Amino acid sequence: MNPIKVGLLGIGTVGSGTFNVLKRNQEEIRRRAGRGIEIAVVADLNTERARELTGGTVDVVSDANDVVTRPDIDIVIELIGGYGIARELVLKAIENGKHVVTANKALLAVHGNEIFEAARKKGVIVAFEAAVAGGIPIIKALREGLTANRIQWIAGIINGTTNFILSEMRDKGLDFDTVLKEAQQLGYAEADPTFDIEGIDAAHKVTLMSAIAFGMPVQFDRAHVEGITKLSAIDIKYAEELGYRIKLLGITRRREEGVELRVHPTLVPASRLIANVEGAMNAVLVQGDAVGATLYYGKGAGAEPTASAVIADLVDVTRLHTADPNHRVPHLAFQPDELSNVPVLPIEEVTSSYYLRMRVSDETGVLAEITRILAEGGISIDAMLQKESREGEPQTDIIILTHLTREKQINAAIRSIEALQTVLSPVTRLRMEELN
């Protein structure tokens, strides 16, 4: 059987990794796929570099439109990134009857509903394992491996840059700005790290996982997103003293009223496996009603780890290339006409436990006033830590951990606490998840 022909859009870090791994393991991949998989053409604006990376063994063009309309191409790999030209090219590839493999989580989180519907109408596949958690096969696990389960919740460390920064802040006691510069020097953070440090990248990924887990359209615009830029080294230190570690988590949870979809710094008990994921590694914890908790751990970025996921999709598409479209695994795991419009809950309706830190005057009655406000708001205290004031400095830090409560209740209590004359600075609030 003739090899299946592939067009590659973009031969940067992941593109070159995909080309190299496919070439290196071509015989193993052929035996698994049932036929060869061959990159026939590469589109990249830097054609000279593309020819150098491919060794002159494939056609190289500067215009990606030449690839998505080429009659002999069966599968298009989109590794350009972004929302704009990538969307146009993916839709044009689909219109021309090409299957698409992409690592573009931003594109699918924002335009996924449009793209999946276009693919359904044309009877082609859009595969996106590499869009979430790099080389970790979490999309396949959610769509296929856990299909017998009613997924209850997912919590993931799904951005290696922020996990590296938080690990360094904890290990070295450094502030955010210092560690960010270190991460940029080491190549863990981009020159413009906004998508990573503001939580946007993680929100793209958890949006896709949420849609697959709960059988609903992708709804990135309804996700609550907070990054790590305002996180203080002192809160990481206090969390450690209380037996917790702070991680930027993407969380989605099924509740009777709807689905929680959120990204934010989160206190996790230090005894949990996911709390001990350090450096630039990723991990995703999935709770299913039948299987219980399952943890997926590995490299969430990089040339060859991400290429591993891209090629796994290539093999899947090759196997299913001639199959009846109705017999393929649906893009979002559930049949398209069975997707539910379950509401995504606003953050004020989320239920969580909370870490509260406040700078207060070191005088009699302050703690009593604070605990009174919490009690009147129906908020139960789980633990408390009061630091000793420094000599000659009549103020101190109070740290309170609460039991589960609704966010709007904690927000109301914080407003009342901050109105006290003895509270000297805004209250720092972080959410907590037991993940048990």
Active-site residue identified among 5, 98, 105, 205: 205
Is residue 208 helix, strand or coil? helix
Q: What is the pLDDT of residues 103-155, one digit of tens each?
A: 999 999 999 999 999 999 999 999 999 999 999 999 999 999 999 999 999 99
Q: Which residues pair with 244 in a beta bridge?
A: 269
Domain layout of the chain by residue ranges: 4-135+303-338, 138-299, 351-432
Average pLDDT over residues 336-344: 93
**Which residue, among 317, 326, 307, 324, has the nearest Cα to 98 in the 3D structure?**
317
Q: Which residues are CB-neighbours of 318 under 8 A, at least 6 positions away?
A: 4, 33, 34, 35, 37, 75
Can you name the CATH fold of 351-432? Alpha-Beta Plaits (3.30.70)
- For residue 178 the two structure tokens come to 């210092």
Burial bucket for residue 362 (CB in 10 Å: 0-12, 13-18, 19+): middle
CATH architecture of residue range(s) 138-299:
2-Layer Sandwich (3.30)
Instruction: In whole angstroms, give the CA distance from residue 144 to residue 133.
Output: 17
On the question of pLDDT at 326 being above 90, the answer is no
pTM value is 0.96
The torsion defined by the Cα of 328, 331, 335 and 340, in degrees rounded to 10, comes to 170
Q: Which residues are CB-neighbours of 54 under 8 A, at least 6 positions away?
A: 11, 19, 39, 42, 60
Secondary structure of 231-242 as H, E, C letters: CCHHHHHHHHHC
**Which residue, among 415, 384, 433, has the nearest Cα to 238 in the 3D structure?**
384
Rg (alpha carbons) of the chain, rounded to whole number: 24
Q: What is the pLDDT of residues 204-222, one digit of tens each?
A: 999 999 999 999 999 999 9
Is residue 342 helix, strand or coil? coil
Cβ pair 129, 77 in contact under 8 A: no
- For residue 349 the two structure tokens come to 């309706």
CATH 3.40.190.10 fits 4-135+303-338, yes or no: no
Q: What is the pLDDT of residues 71-104, one digit of tens each?
A: 999 999 999 999 999 999 999 999 999 999 999 9
Confidence band for 40, pLDDT divided at 50, 70 and 90:
very high
pLDDT of residue 233: 95
Q: Which residues are CB-neighbours of 432 under 8 A, at least 6 positions away?
A: 244, 266, 267, 268, 352, 353, 354, 355, 401
User: Between β-strands 258-269 and 244-255, what pairing exists: parallel, antiparallel or unpaired?
Assistant: antiparallel
Instruction: In whole angstroms, give the CA distance from residue 55 to residue 321.
Output: 28
User: Is 237 one of the annotated active-site residues of the chain?
Assistant: no
On the question of pLDDT at 319 being above 70, the answer is yes
Which residue carries 């992409």 as its tokens? 102
Instruction: In whole angstroms, give the CA distance from residue 319 to residue 303.
Output: 24
Instruction: In whole angstroms, give the CA distance from residue 212 to residue 326.
Output: 18
Instruction: In whole angstroms, give the CA distance from residue 249 to residue 254.
Output: 16
